[in-house]
Amino acid sequence: MKPPRLKGGALTAARMAAENPATSAILGDVLKQSLGLDRLAVLPQSARGALGLDVTPVRAKAEPRALPHDGLSPAARKLWPRAHEDVAAAFSEKKVAPLELTERSLRFLRQLASNRVLNVLVCEDEARSRAEAKAAQERHAAGRPLGPLDGVPYLVKDELDVRGLPTRIGTLCEPETPKSEDSTVVARLARAGAVFVGKTVMTQWGMSPLGQNPAYKMPTNVHHAERAPGGSSSGSAVGVAIGAVPFAVGTDGGGSVRIPAALNGVYGIKPTFGRVSRAGSLSGSVGHIGPLGASPGDLAAFLDAVASEPDPADPHTRAALPPPQGGFGARLGAGVKKLRIGVIESEWADASSPVAAACRSAISALEREGAEIVRVTLPIASVAAPIGYLTIGCEVLAAHAHAWKTQRELIADDLRLSFAVLSGISALDFLDAQLLRATLRLEAARALADVDVLALPTTATTAPPITVHERGRSFADTEAIDAMCRFNFLGNLTGLPAATAPVGVDDDGLPIGLQIVGDAWDEHVILGLLAHLERMGVGAVVKPKAALDLLG
């Protein structure tokens, strides 16, 4: 039985008990049980692999499996959503110029900042935005655009460095000192001609998958003002879902790209660990940088721009296989004939009925298009979330131990409660989780040896409720957290690429995401599947009532 949502005085009392040595153990045990951490200790010794701290993803196939390519046309989008291809076409047809489009995006973002439930910005640099847009406009006028993203506006989660702006990572504990250099991802997007229009709000140090953060003005779900936007890439997801930009940059340590993408009904991908440089951004063994976009094509264009060569500043990128021939969008027109989709039946029991029904319907549609559905087993996936909580929680606490010791009053009560519990985790508990993680990595590779991708829900439920009284305040809800993370840590603990596609809505109109996990370095295979979902109309971004139209 999971504890009820804690807020207000109850949350403060729980936090104080967790920080008190006399009562911390009792409360810690309750919260550990609520997140399933107690399930790890009782697993048999055979479930534990060798203690190898190498986080290089394990590739299942020595050689990629030959798959047909049907050369299909792109999805027929009408007026929504506005993907980067639509923007590039508008530039080519001279319907709008890059500087005008950037001004529209900046104006939309300012309008959202004045909205009490839809702000996505934490800071911006309008001078830089206009300068980049002006340079793009000159290139387009001369008929020499740098590529498909030249002049396209985008947002960046406040976990990546942007020259001249601070990186606060969703907390007041980080300094306001402006960064002297762009992170590698931002620098490479600038090299591709994309136009930076702002940094987005996120949860504190990325530690909440729900999207609440009392330190900043956070958005609600774009489809419902009393539902969570998801986290921790909250502002990036809402910015794309509402139409302010075709794509945004997020980070993902336990679903932080895929969760808010799914809850707000857009596309998102966490690439293979090491595929995208993390220089000038996050660290740890589970954190990835990835895009959220209006279409699978936006995700592919992002990867083409930032992930096509190793980065000397990030040694993890040296392990990456070369991009596929034709780029990350090489299979956007391939279709799904003979694509083998693995389904782990044991995982689906924890999904709510609406989520399971929508996701199974999408898989059935892929089967009708020629995909082969294969039942696979991956027993230890059922405890991926508890392993993930221990891993990311201890890594984040260790990275910010100084703030925990000296700036505790600046940390919200829900995170203080989590850190207090994590402070009681022993080295043995953490290392035991890594032994189980080693087995998970190998089991996932074995499951993918005979299939091309795995399919499972992105989240166990649609967006959890956040009442008007809870908005802007701390609360702790382990049941809601587990519903968001239940299926996502499989990708982070293994480093395998994982994406989400919007495949339906529940009775309240809240989006549902289908998650696709692929073999290491097979982002193009995943994106091809997502593109076919979009082509069939099964994968569809639902236009919210407050939508903004960049090209309207």
**Which of the residues are catalytic?**
157, 232, 256
Contacts of 408 (CB under 8 A, 6+ apart): 416
| Of 286, 372, 342, 376, nearest in space to 518 by CA | 342
- What is the separation, in whole angstroms, between the first and last Cα of the chain? 50
| Of 267, 250, 153, 161, nearest in space to 211 by CA | 250
What six digits make up the tokens of 376?
């696979």
CB 389 within 8 A of CB 453: no
User: Given the structure tokens 């009560």, which residue do they identify?
Assistant: 413
CB 211 within 8 A of CB 231: yes
**What is the Cα–Cα distance from 524 to 64, expressed in whole angstroms?**
12
What six digits make up the tokens of 216?
């900043």
**What is the Cα–Cα distance from 373 to 376, expressed in whole angstroms?**
10
CB 423 within 8 A of CB 495: no
Which residues, in sequence order, are bridge partners of residue 476? 6
Backbone angles phi, psi at 455, to 5 degrees: -120, 130
CB 279 within 8 A of CB 311: yes
Which residues, in sequence order, are bridge partners of residue 456? 515
Segment holding 143, helix H or strand E: none
DSSP 297-357: HHHHHHHHHHSSS-BTTBGGGGGPPPPPTT-TTTTTT---TT-EEEE-GGGGGGS-HHHHH
Cα dihedral sign for 356, 359, 361, 363?
Answer: negative
Cα dihedral sign for 158, 480, 221, 470?
Answer: negative
What six digits make up the tokens of 212?
């609440």
Segment holding 427, helix H or strand E: helix 427-448
What six digits make up the tokens of 19?
């920080």
| Of 207, 316, 145, 267, nearest in space to 516 by CA | 267
Contacts of 404 (CB under 8 A, 6+ apart): 397, 411, 419, 423
DSSP secondary structure letter of residue 214:
T
- How many other C-beta atoms can be found within 10 angstroms of the C-beta atom of residue 525? 22
**What is the Cα–Cα distance from 522 to 271, expressed in whole angstroms?**
9
Contacts of 87 (CB under 8 A, 6+ apart): 101, 151, 152, 246, 550, 551
**What is the Cα–Cα distance from 221 to 237, expressed in whole angstroms?**
9
Cα dihedral sign for 324, 329, 333, 338?
Answer: positive
CB 415 within 8 A of CB 489: no
Going from the C-alpha of 324 to that of each of 188, 308, 521, 530, the distances in angstroms are 19, 9, 9, 17
Pairing, β 453-457 against β 288-293: unpaired
